Amino acid sequence: MSGAQVVAGGGDFRPRVEKLLTDILGLMGFPARLDLQDATDGSLSVALHFESGTPPSVEPGKRSQVLDSLQFLLNKMLHRPGVERRWVMLGAGAHPEPRPRRDAAAQQQAAAAAPVTSVAQAAAATPAQPPARAAAPAPAAQPQQRNARGGQPAQQAAKPAQAQAPAKSAEADERTLQVEEDPAFREAVRKLAEKSASLGRFYAFAAMKTEDRARVLKAVEGVGGVKVAAEGEGRNRRVVFTPAKPAPMPKRSLLPDDDEDDVDA
């Protein structure tokens, strides 16, 4: 084979574009009639006239993320190694406006026309700076003065009272909250507590509101063989069911069914 590149705008370019676009739009479920024409900037412009309505977020005559993604995919499939690139532009219901592009010659002319400043000119344009003054010596450290009673230093005694306040208040106790009772919720929680006590399994409720944690703690009152308490802080706070007699997990499975009765004693 010779080292010459295959021209993308050859005789088979338009049929390839039509075939790929027709297949892609058919797989998307939005078949369209294609109108191809050569654009002024050298690209191939394609107007998509959808036959059964436009895809979501696509409006005729306007750009959209759907068409931009389809255009990017199409050009990636067309521009293979060894083939001269020719860009394909897509538009919904009409031909897209060509994007302005600056060619290499215009960029070179703009760079040549830019003024060049030499190092000497830059130094002459920069005003001379006065010499920096020597830094003043740091004052000698003064000994800390004691207060009149000979106690802690006066500077420490003058600290504001709020600095000694606790940084974060403790979590509120859900048992003290007054919440409305939900009979169905209460029955389900009591059954889980009884299950934890009978099977010796640990359970926990996470990502619950403070009011729901309060309902859980009030619902398990009177259930024996299990201890239920709220643990953790902030988003990690949860309600934990701890059986009085924990039972080991069955040896035959790491994730047994909770309803199994063959738990090892």
Residue type, 118: S
Q: Is residue 32 part of a domain?
A: yes
pLDDT level of residue 153 (50, 70, 90 thresholds) = low
> pLDDT at residue 246 above 70?
yes
Q: Is residue 105 part of a domain?
A: no
How distant is the alpha carbon of residue 160 from its chain centre?
Answer: 42
Average pLDDT in the 171-182 region? 83
Token pair listed for 110: 């703009």
Q: Is residue 258 part of a domain?
A: no
Q: Alpha-carbon Rg of the chain, whole angstroms?
A: 39
pLDDT tens by residue, 249-264: 777 655 555 555 554 4
Burial annotation 15-25 (CB, 10 A radius, 16+ → b, else e): eebeeebeeeb
Burial of residue 164 (number of CB atoms within 10 Å: 0-12, 13-18, 19+) = exposed
Token pair listed for 112: 């040549």
pLDDT tens by residue, 37-91: 888 888 889 989 998 888 888 888 888 888 899 889 888 888 877 777 888 989 9
Q: Is residue 49 part of a domain?
A: yes
Residue type, 24: I
pLDDT level of residue 134 (50, 70, 90 thresholds) = low
Centre a 10 Å sphere on the Cβ of residue 91 and count the other Cβ atoms it contains: 19
CA distance between the termini of the chain? 79
Q: Is residue 83 part of a domain?
A: yes
Q: What is the CATH number of the domain that holds 231?
A: 3.30.1370.50
Q: Residue 31 has what pLDDT?
A: 92
User: In the listed set 53, 71, 92, which residue is the last one of a domain according to the structure?
Assistant: 92
- Count up the domains in the chain and report the number: 2
Q: Is residue 131 part of a domain?
A: no
User: Structural domain of residue 201, as residue ranges?
Assistant: 174-243
Q: Is residue 116 part of a domain?
A: no
